[in-house]
């Protein structure tokens, strides 16, 4: 077989294993890319090493290290507790506070998984005492985290930006964020209306939570450095990864946290997954396998249905696979070829549809985010019932995402 066919077959194997097996897909991707590149395509080792996404690697390590410091020293937790007090005992506001808090924390850098892990236990406890249904709380926290997940500062947002830059769609960071935020805010509002949100307006005011302890010197320092980093990235176009290393170093030297627990927070498994799959995608592109891949994708749609079709396909795969580690690195590079093979369509709209379609399903308990929400359920809550409801909701998002992208995604392209 030709290197092109072999590389495409390797991608199919990687996606298949991501749906069914526990092996780190990045390790498998590199293991398959090596013989295809060096023996089938006749490359030298240096040529294969050159497709490793070194810039993305440094960016992910720097950003996750910075937010590891801010998370481990309690700064993000302190922000979460204070945001939960904003409703002042008005129960009907709690779901919105849960959504907004998760969105803010995810958008600042840690991403949806870290945001959900931090907030779900807190939100489930507060919501249970105030009479908010556990299913509604789980959807608000999960969708809130996902709503902020593609900000220009979050670890997953950086992955998407890197992939879009590779295909000539740079400088659309805020459009990426806006489309993803709007989709998740819309489904969160629907969940609020469908699952008891309006009834909370008739609920007696909940007792306000006890005042949290004052912020420590380390936490004030962390907030200051974090704010300076965000201003530098947004206002002065500093490289987010390299500047995050500087910010993290400053915090560690200043005693905000020791470096050992800070490095322990870096999600090495996720980074290996993303970078490993990117290596295989690099081989796929250079051997001609991407051309075959886009041909197959183009057979599933027409120019008129491209956005909805690609959102449905990526949503279906993302239900069982890693969104940031497999779907984004595999599908975003295929956008230009996909549009060319279709003979029409807008590349930016297609890319935004991939982002949204793959993300909306991540509240399913088959995903890490949904699983974290279920794990934080209050005592006495039926685990099987909550699992079943979140699974049905997550699976339904494949259709919702397709409809949203088909009819609404064009409004985010100026």
Q: Taking the CB of residue 63, how many other CB atoms lie within 10 A of it?
A: 28
Domain encompassing residue 289: 3-412
**6 and 284 Cβ atoms separated by less than 8 Å:** no
**Vertex 369 angle, CA 179 and 175, to 5°:** 15
User: Of 121, 126, 84, whose CA–CA distance to 101 is shortest?
Assistant: 84
pLDDT at residue number 205 = 61
In order of 80, 88, 210, 230, the CA distances from 206 in angstroms are: 18, 8, 12, 35
User: Of 259, 409, 299, 302, whose CA–CA distance to 349 is shortest?
Assistant: 409
Q: Which residue in this structure is represented by tokens 């506070």?
A: 97
CA 329 to chain centre: 12
- Torsion, Cα 285 287 289 295, to 10 degrees, reads 80
Q: Which residue in this structure is represented by tokens 């979460």?
A: 80
**Per-state percent for the chain, helix, strand, coil, to nearest 5:** 75, 0, 25
Which residues of the chain are under the pLDDT cut of 70? Answer: 21, 84, 88-89, 203-210
pLDDT at residue number 157 = 92
pLDDT at residue number 410 = 95
CA 33 to chain centre: 25
Q: Which residue in this structure is represented by tokens 């993302």?
A: 318
Cα–Cα dist 190/394, whole Å:
14
pLDDT at residue number 358 = 95
pLDDT at residue number 375 = 82
User: Of 392, 321, 399, whose CA–CA distance to 357 is shortest?
Assistant: 399
pLDDT at residue number 204 = 58
**270 and 316 Cβ atoms separated by less than 8 Å:** no
pLDDT at residue number 89 = 64
Digit-coded pLDDT (tens) for 131-173: 889 999 999 999 999 999 999 988 899 999 999 998 999 999 9
Dump the DSSP string for 235-298. Answer: HS---HHHHHHHHHHHHHHTTSS-HHHHHHTS-HHHHHHHHHHHHHHHHHHHHTHHHHHHHHHH
pLDDT at residue number 381 = 81
Q: How many structural domains are present in the chain? A: 1
pLDDT at residue number 68 = 86
pLDDT at residue number 176 = 96
Digit-coded pLDDT (tens) for 260-307: 888 888 888 888 888 999 899 899 989 999 888 888 888 888 999 999
């Amino acid at each position: 077989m030709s290197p092109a066919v072999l590389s495409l077959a390797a991608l199919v194997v990687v996606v298949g294993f991501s749906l069914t097996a526990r092996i780190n897909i990045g390790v498998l991707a590199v293991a398959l890319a090596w013989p295809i590149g060096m023996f089938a395509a006749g490359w030298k080792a240096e040529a294969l090493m050159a497709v490793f996404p070194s810039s993305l690697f440094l960016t992910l390590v720097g950003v996750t290290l910075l937010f590891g410091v801010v998370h481990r020293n309690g700064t993000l937790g302190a922000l979460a507790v204070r945001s939960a007090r904003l409703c002042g005992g008005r129960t009907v506001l709690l779901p919105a506070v849960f959504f907004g808090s998760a969105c803010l924390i995810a958008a600042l850098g840690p991403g949806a998984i870290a945001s959900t892990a931090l907030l779900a236990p807190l939100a489930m406890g507060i919501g249970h005492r105030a009479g908010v249904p556990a299913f509604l709380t789980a959807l608000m926290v999960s969708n809130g985290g996902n709503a902020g997940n593609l900000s220009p500062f979050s670890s997953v947002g950086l992955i998407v930006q890197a992939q879009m830059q590779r295909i000539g769609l740079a400088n659309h960071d805020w459009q990426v964020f806006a489309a993803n935020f709007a989709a998740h805010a819309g489904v969160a509002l629907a969940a609020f209306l469908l699952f008891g949100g309006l009834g909370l307006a008739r609920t007696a005011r909940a007792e306000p939570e006890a005042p949290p302890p004052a912020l420590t010197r380390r936490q004030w320092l962390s907030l200051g450095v974090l704010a300076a980093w965000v201003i530098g990235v947004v206002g002065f176009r500093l490289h987010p990864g390299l500047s995050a290393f500087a910010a993290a170093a400053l915090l560690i030297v200043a005693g905000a946290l020791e470096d050992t627990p800070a490095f322990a927070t870096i999600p090495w498994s996720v980074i290996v997954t993303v970078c490993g799959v990117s290596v295989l995608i690099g081989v796929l592109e250079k051997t001609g396998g991407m051309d075959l891949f886009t041909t197959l994708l183009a057979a599933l749609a027409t120019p008129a249905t491209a956005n909805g079709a690609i959102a449905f396909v990526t949503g279906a795969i993302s239900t069982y696979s890693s969104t940031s580690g497999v779907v984004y690195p595999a599908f975003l590079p295929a956008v230009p070829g996909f549009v060319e093979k279709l003979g029409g369509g807008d590349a930016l709209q297609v890319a935004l549809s991939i982002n949204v379609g793959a993300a909306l399903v991540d509240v399913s308990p088959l995903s890490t985010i949904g699983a974290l929400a279920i794990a934080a359920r209050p005592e006495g809550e039926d685990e099987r019932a909550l699992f079943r409801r979140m699974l049905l909701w997550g699976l339904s998002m494949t259709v919702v995402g397709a409809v949203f992208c088909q009819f609404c995604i064009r409004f985010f392209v100026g």
